[in-house]
Chain A
């Protein structure tokens, strides 16, 4: 039975987004052509078409940005905290005012559905600026009686899955605590960070307080090792996080790492099953599964496993994959050819390991990078698809018999970013949540974020927290 309804195409208008043909580096409050960098196009992963030319920073550009940051530091730190906060309030407002533009840009550059960039990325980014703006003059209240000072120059490195939101997660607390910031957006998704530079100018942010340098991993590695940088805030893969931690070993540089995950989404037999199915879909297919806390390991109690998988499979039939700018699209494009190849390789590995694969049979666009929603059943805890982060719309289904086994299997991972627990029994939900080694536990829900709620990992998912008062501490040297 075909459950997919046909909708007329409902594309979001792109008229109000006026992009430049070329974006230079944003250094010391001004746009500057790269001194020794290069210029590359940023490409729409849904069509393969170039969107704009983007300057990439070279070593001399990095030096210049760090020098501008250092120069800006004394005046920024001398500013009364309330005034500092007011700049962030302006950021929040400008993000809200330009929300449609930003949403379209985010979707064009990253491939995510417009309904997600419009309803999640942009408003949540604005909410982070708004929330941290108000913290600027209230820092003593989060220090528990201790004294603290900002680190100085923060090097922020953000990934391609939530380009604007991750930039907001770093910039807002960094500036609120009196640091200045050099941001390196991901190489495939620099666009909204560059729009954020326009917003910084519009907000009248003092020159050098925020610099934005697009570039690749090599630039990131240089930023990490730059001796003018006092703190690194990184979100990305565990492999890169490990390199960064090793590179900073023994040095007095602050470090927070938000790394990968292989989060367990645990469904007990007494769960509200339709809600759980929705939560599973949100958990793994939100943002094409390009989510570090994606609920990629579904743990289902044996008694309901068959029924749940069938209901999930039926629900998956209704997912609409395609043009990210279409307001009815549920799943957009895979962010890059490289990421698509990684997803395909891991899925092939699952098939080679003899697991049962089901992939949604749906039309996919000719151009661009696409991967249809996929699930594996009969997965064992040591299968590669259950241990390795796939970072795509691929769900591995495992089963368990009782609560103890669920907890044991959920914790049987090197990661520890997030988890979901589905049960009608509140006492059980809280008991299981307490036993899980994960930084975030969603009970009867999944993938919820809020600027007031801390987010971050256990184990190899990294350290430090973002969000809430805890998210301020990594940006401060606390005595």
Chain B
């Protein structure tokens, strides 16, 4: 009897709650730490970026308009979805990146805990960042944080699952939608995350996860008029200036975060990850007149 041939996977990008091949028809091989082929992954194009942004723009009002409680529920459900596949994520990290099992498990657990942490933030952002303004006139004046809109994310090059989750969860908690470019070196865990999110309650278009060449896609993402903010966690000094200049064209909110700071226990869970992706709206209403 001949040995059974394994079924090799060709991944698809996660765009608009669908799993799609790159419109360009291109793929790249993803290799493990020893150089062996793991799978083929889409090499997304600038057109895929535009498609993802379009889906995100369409998804934004719905996601932003949900109650904070509901967004918290959905992010917690995402944590459930990752936790239930925890063993798969651990095994994949060991196989692909050559991590020790203990380190891989700690990373996956940290990713789940990150989702739980930000699930808990959704209904507290307004209380901490907003408030009633004691203006010196007969008005009810209050300031409320609202989401910025479509946030482009350039994921950190390492620490794939945790880095991806740490980058996308905070803007999502505030009601933003996210188009993320996955680690070019380690795209498969992020694509696996997409499969987990695809069967969770995350609404269509709220998260997009694209694999491909960072140098090709990140500028297209930063320059897109539909993108309101950009989180650059690439740690790439050259890319940093270019993305900043492209973002300036539309006064996009551009933030750079060192990959290590994004993943580190002390700095991963913080209001400071959420705050850049909020806009404070101040409303004035007369009282008694």
Q: CB within 8 Å of B: which residues of A? A: 127, 144-146, 238, 241-243, 245-246, 248-251, 257, 259, 414, 426, 429-430, 433, 438-445, 448, 450, 452-456, 458-463, 465, 467-470, 473, 478-479
Contact = CB atoms under 8 A, between A and B. Distances in A.
Contacts of B134: 452
Given A245-B247, A249-B245, A441 B283 contact: yes
A314 to B, nearest CB: 23
B279 A458 contact: yes
Query: Would you list the 10 A-B pairs with minimal beta carbon distance, nearest first?
Result: A249-B244, A250-B241, A245-B248, A450-B135, A246-B248, A453-B133, A250-B240, A249-B245, A443-B285, A452-B133
A468 B133 contact: yes
A450 B143 CA distance: 12
A259 B251 contact: yes
Interface stretch (B8-16, B108-116, B199-207, B264-272): B264-272
B216 interface: no
Contacts of A426: 285
A470 B143 contact: yes
Contacts of B249: 242, 246
Given A430-B285, A439-B280, A440-B281, A479 B272 contact: yes
Interface string B230-248: 0000000100111111011
B181 to A, nearest CB: 18
**Residue from A238, A241, A445 with most neighbouring chain B CB atoms (10 Å):** A445
A301 B100 CA distance: 66
8 contacts: A144-B128, A249-B245, A426-B285, A430-B283, A443-B284, A450-B135, A461-B251, A463-B251
A246 B245 contact: yes
Given A249-B240, A461-B251, A465-B280, 7 more contacts: A249-B245, A441-B283, A454-B143, A454-B280, A459-B228, A459-B251, A463-B253
B132 to A, nearest CB: 9
Given A450-B136, A453-B143, A470-B143, A443 B286 contact: yes
A479 B267 contact: yes
B277 to A, nearest CB: 11
Contacts of A450: 133, 135-137, 141
A465 B249 CA distance: 20
B215 interface: no
A448 B248 contact: no
Contacts of A248: 244
B73 interface: no
Interface of B is mostly: mixed
A445 B286 contact: yes
B150 to A, nearest CB: 12
Contact of A462 (B251, B256, B272): B251
A448 B284 contact: yes
B254 interface: yes
Given A443-B283, A444-B286, A453-B282, A249 B251 contact: no
Contacts of B243: 249-250
Contacts of A461: 251
B248 A249 contact: yes
Given A452-B133, A465-B280, A429 B285 contact: yes
Contact of A249 (B133, B247, B284): B247
B129 interface: yes
A81 B249 CA distance: 39
A305 to B, nearest CB: 24
Contacts of A127: 136
Interface in B88-136: 128-129, 131, 133-136
Question: Which of B135, B247, B249 is the most central at the interface, judged by chain A CB atoms within 10 Å of its CB?
Answer: B135
A146 B275 CA distance: 12
A445 B285 CA distance: 7
A470 B129 contact: yes
A469 B270 contact: no
B250 interface: yes
Nearest to A416: B279
B19 interface: no
A439 B272 contact: no
A249 B254 contact: yes
Contacts of A467: 133, 282
B285 A146 contact: no
B266 to A, nearest CB: 9
Contact of B282 (A241, A439, A445, A462): A439
B131 A242 contact: no
B135 A479 contact: no
Contact of B251 (A145, A238, A440, A444): A238
Contacts of A144: 128-129, 271
A470 B270 contact: no
A249 B242 CA distance: 7
Given A448-B284, A453-B282, A468 B247 contact: no
A255 B179 CA distance: 24
Nearest to B244: A249
Contacts of B248: 242-243, 245-246, 249
A479 B266 CA distance: 10
Given A245-B248, A249-B247, A479-B267, A445 B279 contact: no
Contacts of A245: 244, 247-248, 251, 254
B251 A453 contact: no
Nearest to A440: B282
A241 B248 CA distance: 8
Contacts of B244: 245-246, 248-251
Q: Which residue among A245, A443, A467, A469 has the maximum number of chain B CB atoms within 10 Å of its CB?
A: A245
Contacts of B128: 144
Interface in B126-178: 128-129, 131, 133-137, 139, 141, 143, 148
A438 B281 CA distance: 7
A430 B140 CA distance: 12
Given A241-B251, A479-B270, A448 B139 contact: yes
B53 to A, nearest CB: 15
Contacts of A259: 251
B149 to A, nearest CB: 8
A452 B228 CA distance: 27
Nearest to B286: A444
Contacts of A146: 270-272
Given A441-B282, A478-B272, A242 B251 contact: yes
Contact of B280 (A145, A444, A470): A470
B120 to A, nearest CB: 14
Contacts of B247: 245, 249
Contacts of B148: 458
Q: Which of A245, A433, A453, A465 has the most CB of B within 10 A?
A: A453
A67 to B, nearest CB: 27
A332 B131 CA distance: 37
A454 B133 contact: yes
A246 B243 CA distance: 10
